[in-house]
Amino acid sequence: MKTITYLHKKITPSKIICVGRNYTEHIQELGNETPEEAVLFCKPNSAISDTLYFIQEDCRFEGEICFLIEDKKLAAVGFGFDLTKAKTQEYLKSKGLPWERAKAFNNSAVLSDFVPLKGDITTLEMKLYLNDTLQQHAHYELMIHKPDALLQEIQSFMSLEDGDIIMNGTPKGVATYKSGDLFRAEVYLENKLIIEEIFVVQ
């Protein structure tokens, strides 16, 4: 089973719950409709990786603020890539089919270490740099569905176990990537840098 790191311990998530279409400008850049309720889907434990691999030419990165669950609460925060096989997803969407082939493949959830979520959650902010150029920028105010509301909605129909992860959706700026690209992910809380992670595409 795949693990993530939290407080220098290895944690084994049973699943990852992903939020789609949670930032208006990202919805617009992909030409999607704004949903009336949160779009939720899952990635299995086998999707977890701490290494960003080149998958294929049309594979898209989506940088996201992520939350670790403990005692049914948002206990910790991290950064994650939700990788997407874009052409496969477009085909599945056109046929009204589930997204797993495009979203839930091995190594499609690339995660940083997690740190305790201590502070004002409304100040959360994420910056993702690609080869030293700011590519994505997310913060709490841009989220359509806020983290606490998402937690309640998910728990209304699905049990969350300790160690499960919520990937909170991606802002505008998603794109494809290639071997050798360098990403720097930063997460801020109360204007303090709490996570900085470097990923070099393998």
Element (H, E) at 42: strand 39-44
Cβ count within 10 A of residue 79: 25
Element (H, E) at 152: helix 147-155
Does residue 81 form part of some domain? yes
Does residue 11 form part of some domain? yes
To 5 degrees, how large is the angle CA 21–CA 26–CA 30?
Answer: 90
Does residue 89 form part of some domain? yes
Does residue 156 form part of some domain? yes
Q: How confident is the model at residue 32 (pLDDT cuts 50, 70, 90)?
A: low
Question: Above 70 in pLDDT, residue 186?
Answer: yes
pLDDT tens digits, residue range 77-128?
Answer: 999 999 999 999 999 999 999 999 999 999 999 999 999 999 999 999 999 9
Domain that holds residue 66: 4-119+139-178
Does residue 86 form part of some domain? yes
Does residue 196 form part of some domain? no
Does residue 20 form part of some domain? yes
Number of domains in the chain: 1
Nearest-angstrom CA–CA distance, 79 and 62: 11
In this structure, is the dihedral angle defined by the CA atoms of residues 67, 153, 61 and 36, taken in order, positive or negative?
negative
CATH number at residue 113: 3.90.850.10
Q: How confident is the model at residue 37 (pLDDT cuts 50, 70, 90)?
A: confident
